[in-house]
Amino acid sequence: MMGRLPFMAGNWKMNKTTGEAIDLVRELKAAISGVKGVEVAVAPPFTALYAVCKELEGSFIRLAAQNLYWEEKGAFTGEVSPLMLKEVGCHYVIIGHSERRQFFGETDETVNRRIKAALAQGLKVIFCIGETLKEKEEGKTFSVIERQVEDGLKNLGDKEMENIVIAYEPVWAIGTGKTATPGQAEEVHRFIRGKIEKLYSREVSEEIRIQYGGSVTPENIKGLMEQANIDGALVGGASLKAESFSKIVRFKEL
């Protein structure tokens, strides 16, 4: 088996004006220059994508968007198409983030449509899943994850899976300071990988990267990355400062 390349992505959510975004990537480039053996991406808000893309020229840091719409173009006021993101230099797009599911009506079905549209345009996808606190307390973690994986990935073949990264983000751990323990996260990651093996094959399940997200910090990243099935992190708050995000990227040195 080929080792899975660790992948650290910063989801900036609705933070950073274009000017602030440029400052942050400048600092980040300096703070992680020369780092090897880890893939890194940043996901600024739409308005900053173009400027950040220019700033990242010649850098190994990848650009990601936080969402897209599945249609190519047309009368869809306020939406952004896969081609628009591709043209502005995006390599990845985050799809199905719990904040989209909670506040903007995203469902497993719309997540699936978005994933297909992104892949068709040659974008790689960070596909987010995770249970809410209520679901966890009702003992539904695994059934929720199973449904999100099955329905979110519906009708996607082995080849398409090569361009998908899964991000397991328990909703109760997002922005709360309550990280899942490495053991708790690993248990769900193992379950997700097992589910991918059932839906696809051993090979696909061994190659797919599964990031953990939810209150990841420089203090807890090492313990998470020591787990066999945790291949990286999708970082919110701690990605808004070069100092903390660069430490997460440099987790091997901690």
Query: Which positions lie near ligand 13P, rule CB under 6 A?
Result: 11, 97, 169, 174-175, 213-216, 234-238
Please give the angle made by the CA atoms of 86, 88 and 91, to the nearest 5 degrees.
Answer: 45
97 is catalytic: yes
Which residue, chain included where needed, has tokens 């323990």?
Answer: 181
3 state DSSP class of 231: coil
In the complex with ligand 13P, the residue whose CB is nearer, 63 or 204, is 63
Query: Of 39, 106, 135, 169, which residue is the catalytic one?
Result: 169
Catalytic: which of 39, 55, 91, 97?
97
Q: How far is the CB of 202 from ligand 13P (least distance, A)?
A: 29
Nearer to ligand 13P by Cβ, of 94 and 153: the residue is: 94
Q: Which is nearer to ligand 13P, 83 or 144 (CB)?
A: 144
Q: Which of 99, 41, 106 is nearest to 70 (CA)?
A: 106
Question: Looking at the DSSP assignment, which residues form a beta bridge with residue 124?
Answer: 92
Minimum distance from residue 175 beta carbon to ligand 13P (Å)? 4
Q: Nearest approach, Cβ of 101 to ligand 13P (angstroms)?
A: 11
In the chain, the amino acid numbered 247 is: K
Of 89 and 218, the one with the shorter C-beta distance to ligand 13P is 218
- H or E element that contains 146: helix 141-152
Which residues have a Cβ under 8 Å from the Cβ of 111 and sit 6 or more positions away?
95, 96, 101, 127, 148, 151, 152
CA separation for the pair 141, 170 (Å, rounded): 9
Residue 147 CB contacts under 8 Å (≥ 6 apart), including other chains: 108
Q: How far is the CB of 5 from ligand 13P (least distance, A)?
A: 19
Q: Which residues belong to the active site?
A: 97, 169
